[in-house]
Structure 1
Amino acid sequence: MTETTNSPAARLQQLFEGHRLTPTQRRIAHCMVRRAADVAFLSSVELAELAGVSQPSVTRFAVALGFDGYPALRRHLREVAPAEPTADSGKDAFNEYQQAVHAEIENLRHLAEMLADPGPVEQAGRLLAASRPLPVLGLRAASSQARGFAYFAAKVHPDVRLLDEGGTMLADRIDAARRAGASALVCFALPRHPKEVVEALAYARESGLTVVTVADSAFAPVAAHSDLLIPAAVGTGLAFDTACAPMLLGRVLLESMCDGLPDAQARLEEFDARAAERGLFVE
């Protein structure tokens, strides 16, 4: 996914590209991207605490990127991305629930900055609109995202196939979609990432499908098995992750897909007419 070229987050992602990172290192990288505006001012202990890893893991991460240690990495960040640290004024006045909401607002703000370059989303929309049928994959934590996307997509796309259950039949259902003419698959992948999703995406690509993935990070385990990955961060401030940004990104993909379906508006109008005839809604 391409972000605005001069954004701190984009410069960080360029720094990480081409490196084989461990899951712990991907977690650190993800945290740094989320805190791109002030990461150059964080100590290794502070970054470790934010990422939920040990301080030595941060040091090893810096070495893996080719630096002598974390201080050298931080000096590099200050040179290539000079910025003032973000102000956390009033942060301590918020309770844990408010902090979770503010964290989601930051995730949405980052998503908005990323969408300044609409190219990847527009490319994804064309791929999804052209696929007949369109398989939509999402397991465990991501199943609700996949189900919501499939529900709305079915209103404008002639053949949407929801894949929200794992097991031995998952590959069979991918095969069936491919035989029916599918050219692309869209996947929602959120932490914790099931091994089965990674395997399913690898199988889908081997079968000839183009994989479009919405994931929590460009460094998610599914990245290696995606032709086009568009990241949208999840909130981690509560006991269970929150996924406002991935949900909104899914709606953005739906909008882009509609642009590639000439009869999308007609299908929506037909649905509204039938819903009125059936008295489907109470409005």
Structure 2
Amino acid sequence: MIDEKKDLILQIQKNFSKLSKGQKLIAQFIIDNYDKAAFMTASKLGLKVGVSESTVVRFANALGFEGYPELQKALQEIIKTKLTTVQRVEMASEFSNEGAILKKVLKSDMENIRNTLENIDPKDFQAVVDQIFSANRIYIVGLRSSTALAEYLGFYLNLILDNVKIVGYGISDIFEQMLRISKDDLVIGISFPRYSNRTIEVLNYAKEEGVPIISITDSLLSPVAGLSDYCLTGKSNMVSFVDSLVAPLSLINALIVAVGMREKEEIRECFNKLENIWEKYNIYDNKNQS
């Protein structure tokens, strides 16, 4: 199998002379239109360049892949951080109707959750929970589309632990919000394609200060993973211009529950107080409850 770190396009170019006539047609199309080819089925790619589906499969085999799906995933991994929003919108134009969109997106999210479950290491997950409990203060950094994940994780962790700070854009600069960070603290960085440069800069700063770092990202090849002491990966393969955060959110849910189960008594006491406050100040609608 080709190393994912290598440029697949360059690999195709190097092997071009060894390919059959039909395979060269496929290769040239991928080189010229890699952003489109990455989301084409084998049959659609073959139809586009005028070869059979079996020729497309043999082309993938010639590059060292077990089948076309593996080649397709490798292409997607390479390009997903390079695609502009406009290119993502163009990818979605092949959907025939709203029903097709619904089916495609939900199936993609299911696949992301399944891949996340298959690839995560329970020992790494437990180590992350241990790190959370050993930290004096916890700083959570997630910008752009990852802001929703950071806010969600921070909201629940703060109810459980009461030592959590969500770092984000506001009156104070991000680095000012981390001014008093120390080696006894912990930074949790959340970043998914397209990766935020500001998040990477913040994690670099934390690393320079000797602070332990946990990253929640889509791949061990992501720029934030390389800066981390511990990395949890949640698949976020997209089918359109919208980032898929379903699997990452499910992973974060599991993390919150795991932390909470170590603090059962504290959580019970905390939520008892909250229920009284919610009832007193009518935070929730209880009219329809029996």
- Please classify the TM superposition score into its range, dividing by the shorter chain length: 0.5 to 0.7
**1:112 counterpart SS class:** helix
Superposed, which structure 2 residues align to 1:1-283 within 5 Å? 16=3, 21=6, 48=34, 49-50=37-38, 71=61, 73-74=63-64, 77=66, 95-115=100-120, 117-165=121-169, 169-178=173-182, 182-261=184-263, 263-283=266-286
Counterpart of 1:8? none
Deviation at 1:106, TM superposition (A): 0.6
| Distance apart, 1:153 and its partner CA | 1.4
Confirm or deny: 8 A CA contact 2:220 2:226 kept in the other structure: no
Deviations 1:241-266 (A, max 9, x none): 12111111111111222244462333
Instruction: Say if 2:189 and 2:224, in contact at 8 Å, map to a contact too.
Output: no
TM-score, L = length of structure 1: 0.66
Q: TM-score, normalised by structure 2?
A: 0.64
3-state secondary structure, aligned to 2:235: coil
Closer/same/farther in 2, CA of residues 168 and 266 from structure 1, 3 Å limit = closer
SS of equivalent residue, structure 2 residue 214: strand
| Matched AA of 1:170 | I
Gaps of 5+ in 2: 10-25, 46-58, 71-94
Contact 1:136 1:185 in 2 (8 A): yes
- Cα distance, 1:132–1:172 mapped onto 2, change above 3 Å: same
AA paired with 1:248? S
Paired positions, count: 220
Kept after mapping to 2: 8 A contact 1:121/1:256: no
For residues 95 and 243 of structure 1, what CA distance do their matches in structure 2 show?
Answer: 20
Task: Answer yes or no: is the 8 Å Cα contact 1:138–1:163 preserved in 2.
Answer: yes
Deviations 1:109-153 (A, max 9, x none): 1123235x4221121112112222211110111111101111111
Distance 2:274 2:172 in 1: 35
Tell me the amino acid that sits aligned with residue 217 of structure 1: S
The answer to whether the Cα contact below 8 Å between 1:133 and 1:160 also exists between their aligned partners in 2 is: yes
Change (3 A) 1:131 1:260: farther
- Quote the Cα distance in structure 2 between the aligned partners of 1:273 and 1:210: 37
Computed over aligned residues only, the root mean square deviation of the Cα atoms, in angstroms, reads: 3.4
Larger RCO, structure (CA 8 Å, separation 6 or more): 1
Q: C-alpha distance in 2, partners of 1:231/1:221?
A: 13
Larger Rg: 2
* Counterpart amino acid of residue 114 in structure 1: N
Measured after TM superposition, the shift of residue 276 of structure 1 is 2.6
AA in 2 matched with 1:99: K
- Code of the residue aligned with 1:247 in structure 2: it is L
Deviations 1:2-54 (A, max 9, x none): xxxxxxxxxx8xx85xx8556x88xxxxxxxxxxxxxxxxx8778952269xx
Cα distance in 2 between the residues matched to 1:97 and 1:218: 30
